[in-house]
């Protein structure tokens, strides 16, 4: 047994390691450490999911609430604007039609009125008897 | 400054696992005994050693290469050990009469202690030392680590380490003298 006197002190014990470990401990240690590292990797992924879970749940609930409120609201909103547009368009049409009618009438009166043609049409549509009675 | 090819392998995703396995195989035994002499119990040493290597795996990308990989790993193991001992001390603060009583109990019940009675006495003396003095004493006395290397691992000056070792030896001598007188 090796005995040493360190640094000129009076300690004169063996500096051999008095501890032992279970037989074959170092044979399997590397494998167990690698397995531990692998499991830690998985745990860290699970940990990230666990940390993000409340945030994801909150985002999902928000999305559901958004879908439940926004989509029906937008459909109703679209319907309202459609009917408003339609009414406006109808009013515009009325307005346009009055103008068109007046314009058309004035134009036709000025340009297309033909006395001879009118006479021919009237003669063709009225019978001789009707003319005599008149 | 050129980077050690082995460290490159450790930092490369495709070669990391193989290089890490080599690192574990190379240093596991030395680190185990370093930790074991501090915590005394095999199960605790095993746990701390595994935590140490998990930290090495997780932080290898942050390793800047200022010191050798072995020094860096040794430092992580030392810090893990000191953290463990501090936790144990807090846990046993109400149940033990002195700071290191729980360690004395561990030593007494350790089934993996194979030393002589005189070696047990020495261990009993060592556990009365403050943690950092114990580390210095164990590294110098049992592992025969050079002060220069110890200085890098513990990030303490050589002078402070020498003083620490000297104080530790004096305390151990006093403890053993007292113990002899009591018998």
Q: What percent of chain B has pLDDT over 90?
A: 74
- Given the structure tokens 């909150």, which residue do they identify? A58
- Provide mean pLDDT across the span B90-101: 69
Which range is least confidently modeled, A12-26, A83-97, B82-96, B143-157?
A83-97
Q: Among partner residues B36, B53, B173, which is closest to A19 by beta-carbon distance?
A: B36
Q: Name the residue range of residue B14's domain.
A: 1-97
Which residue, B74, B32, B27, is CA-closest to A20? B32
Q: Is the Cβ of B32 closer than 8 Å to some Cβ of chain A?
A: yes
Domain annotation covers residue B106: no
Domain annotation covers residue B34: yes
Instruction: Read off the tokens for A5.
Output: 């006197």
Q: What is the DSSP letter of B4?
A: P
* C-alpha–C-alpha distance, residues B181 and B183, integer Å: 5
CA distance A46 to chain B (A): 16
Residues B139-181: tens digit of each pLDDT:
999 999 999 999 999 999 999 999 999 999 999 999 999 877 7
Q: Looking at the structure, tell me whether residues B84 and B2 fall in a common domain.
A: yes
Which range is least confidently modeled, B68-72, B118-122, B176-180?
B176-180
pLDDT at A60: 81
Beta strands in chain A (DSSP E): none
- Binned at pLDDT 50, 70 and 90, residue A99 comes out as low
Distances (CA, A) of A116 to A46, A130, B111: 98, 20, 136
CATH number for the domain including B142? 1.10.10.10
CATH number for the domain including B53? 1.10.1740.10
Q: Looking at the structure, tell me whether residues B4 and B80 fall in a common domain.
A: yes
Q: Looking at the structure, tell me whether residues B68 and B122 fall in a common domain.
A: no
Q: Structure pTM?
A: 0.67
- Provide mean pLDDT across the span B115-142: 93
Number of separate domains in chain B: 2
CA distance B113 to chain A (A): 5
Q: Looking at the structure, tell me whether residues B81 and B158 fall in a common domain.
A: no
- Binned at pLDDT 50, 70 and 90, residue A105 comes out as low
């Amino acid at each position: 047994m090796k005995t040493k006197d360190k640094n000129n002190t009076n300690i004169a014990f063996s500096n051999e390691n008095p501890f032992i470990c279970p037989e074959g401990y170092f044979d399997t240690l590397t494998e167990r450490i690698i397995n531990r590292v692998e499991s830690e990797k998985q745990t860290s992924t699970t940990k990230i999911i666990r940390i993000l879970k409340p945030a994801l749940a909150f985002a999902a609930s928000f999305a559901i609430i958004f879908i439940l409120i926004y989509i029906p609201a937008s459909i109703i909103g679209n319907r309202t604007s459609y009917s408003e547009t339609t009414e406006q368009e109808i009013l515009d049409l009325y307005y346009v039609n009055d103008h068109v009618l007046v314009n058309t009438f004035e134009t036709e009166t000025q340009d297309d009125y033909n006395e001879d043609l009118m006479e021919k049409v009237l003669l063709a549509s009225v019978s001789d008897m009707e003319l005599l009675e008149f | 400054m050129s980077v050690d090819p082995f460290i490159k392998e450790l930092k490369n995703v495709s070669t990391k696992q193989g290089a890490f396995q080599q690192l574990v195989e190379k240093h596991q035994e030395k680190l185990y005994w370093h930790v074991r002499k501090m915590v005394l119990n095999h199960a605790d040493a095993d746990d701390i050693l595994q935590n140490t290597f998990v930290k090495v795996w997780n932080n290898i990308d942050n390793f800047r290469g200022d010191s050798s990989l072995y020094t860096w790993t040794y430092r992580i193991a030392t810090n893990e050990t000191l953290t463990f001992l501090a936790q144990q001390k807090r846990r046993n603060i109400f149940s033990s009469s002195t700071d290191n009583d729980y360690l004395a109990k561990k030593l007494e019940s350790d089934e993996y202690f194979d030393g002589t009675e005189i070696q047990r006495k020495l261990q009993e003396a060592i556990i009365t030392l403050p943690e950092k003095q114990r580390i210095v004493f164990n590294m110098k006395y049992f592992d025969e680590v050079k002060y220069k290397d110890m200085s890098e691992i513990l990030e303490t000056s050589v002078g402070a380490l020498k003083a620490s070792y000297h104080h530790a030896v004096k305390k151990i001598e006093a403890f053993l003298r007292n113990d002899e007188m009591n018998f």
